[in-house]
Amino acid sequence: MGGKVTCTLGEIKNRADFIVYWGGNPAECHPRHFTKYTLTQKGKFVPNGRKDRTMVLVDIRETPSARAADIFLQIKPGKDFEILTTLRALVKGHRVNEASVAETGLSIEQLRDLADRMKQARFGVIFFGMGLSMTRGKHMNSAAVLMLAAELNAFTKFVTMPMRGHGNVTGSDMVMRWSTGYPFGVSLCRGYPRFNPGEFSTVDLLVRGDVDAALVLGADPGATMPQPGIDHLARIPTIVLDPKVTHTSRLARVHITTAATGISAPGTVYRMDEIPLPLRPALVSPYPTDEEVIRRIREAVAKKPAWAQRPAAMAPTN
C-alpha cells in the first residue's frame, strides 16, 4: 500500500468529466479552484465546460461548496475510512456488509451509484481536504483514498490530489525532499537527515519541550499549535521572520519584519500539484527579504568556531 496517482491541474481542466471533493470546502477555502481548474473551465476534451462535468461533494455538513455540486453526500463524522473501504470493495465487485454501511450515513444504493459513476467516468479525480486527512483515521484515510484512485485505473483513468493550502507549504516540501530525502519531520541532530513524523515533527518537538530555540518562518504556530507547544515557544528564544506581527511574534524574543514574498520580494511558489511558479514583486519594500535575513544570520554563525568535532568521511557501503 502506498504511492499516489495524480496529475497536474491542467489535466483536470482539459479532461476531467467526474470530479469529487471529499472533506473540503473549496468554495470558501480555495475560491478559484472551480473557475480556474475544475468546473467551469472549457477544456480540450470537455469543450462545454461545466455541462460536460459531474461534481460530487462528500462532507459531514452542507457547506457553501454543496451549491456547486451535482450530488452532495452527507456522511457521519469519522466514517470516511469505512466509506472509502466499502467503495474499494464495490469497485472490485466484492460483497459488502450492508448493516455496517448503515452506520456511515449513506445507503448502499448511494454508494453503489457513486462506485458505478466512478468506473464509468472517462477521466475522474478525487480532491481530498483536511476534513478527510486530519479527522479520525488520519493517514489511514489518506491511504484509503489514494488506494481507491489507484485501483480505479483498472477500469478507467482516475487520479487524486490533496487540497493543500497554507501559502507555500508544497514548496517547503519540495525543497526538503531534494535536500534531505524527506518532506517534513526531519531531524539533522546527528549531522544527517532522519525522518520520524510524531517524533521530529515541529508540533511534537514543541509539545515535548525538546527544543531550546526556534526560528519561525512563514508560519504562525502561536495561533495554531496546541497550548503546551505555544507555552514552550514563549519559554525559549523564539525568532520570527514575517511581514506582519503575528500571534507568534507577540510571544517571541525577536521579530524581524521582512518584505512580503510575491508582493515586494521575488521567489518561487509551488502550486498544490507541485508545479513551480515565479513570483515577481510589484512593489518595493524598505524591509529585507526572508532570504537576505537568513543569509546574514548564516554568515554570522559560520564565523563562530564549530561546536562539533569533524566527522570522518563516509563511503558508500551497500
Minimum distance from residue 61 beta carbon to other proteins (Å): 30
Per CB under 8 A, residues contacting other proteins are 1-11, 13-15, 36-37, 44, 122-123, 150, 153-154, 156-157, 159, 173-174, 177-183, 188, 190-193, 195, 268, 270, 274-278, 306, 310-311, 313-318
Minimum distance from residue 12 beta carbon to other proteins (Å): 9
Enter the C-alpha cell of residue 294: 537568513
Enter the C-alpha cell of residue 201: 515533527
Q: Of the two residues 174 and 251, which places its CB atom closer to other proteins in the complex?
A: 174
Residues paired with residue 222 on neighbouring β-strands, in sequence order: none
CA–CA separation, 57 vs 20, rounded Å? Answer: 6
What contacts 24+ positions apart, CB below 8 Å, involve 212-218?
212/236, 212/237, 213/237, 213/238, 213/239, 214/238, 214/239, 215/239, 215/241, 216/240, 216/241, 216/242, 216/248, 216/252, 217/241, 217/242, 217/290, 217/294, 218/167, 218/168, 218/172, 218/242, 218/261, 218/290
Minimum distance from residue 130 beta carbon to other proteins (Å): 19
Q: Of the two residues 15 and 255, which places its CB atom closer to other proteins in the complex?
A: 15
Q: Of the two residues 52 and 274, which places its CB atom closer to other proteins in the complex?
A: 274
Q: Of the two residues 77 and 276, which places its CB atom closer to other proteins in the complex?
A: 276
SS3 210: coil
Minimum distance from residue 134 beta carbon to other proteins (Å): 19
Q: Of the two residues 119 and 247, which places its CB atom closer to other proteins in the complex?
A: 119
Amino acid at 294: I
Enter the C-alpha cell of residue 25: 470546502
Minimum distance from residue 306 beta carbon to other proteins (Å): 6
Sign of CA dihedral 90, 96, 99, 101: negative
* CA nearest neighbour of 313 among 206, 191, 200, 158: 191
Minimum distance from residue 223 beta carbon to other proteins (Å): 28
Q: Of the two residues 95 and 310, which places its CB atom closer to other proteins in the complex?
A: 310
Minimum distance from residue 60 beta carbon to other proteins (Å): 29
Q: Of the two residues 6 and 85, which places its CB atom closer to other proteins in the complex?
A: 6
Q: Of the two residues 13 and 53, which places its CB atom closer to other proteins in the complex?
A: 13
Minimum distance from residue 199 beta carbon to other proteins (Å): 13
Residues contacting residue 179 through CB under 8 Å, at least 6 positions apart: none
* CA nearest neighbour of 125 among 38, 46, 47: 38
Which parts of 65-166 fold into alpha helices (H)? Answer: 80-91, 98-102, 108-120, 130-133, 139-152
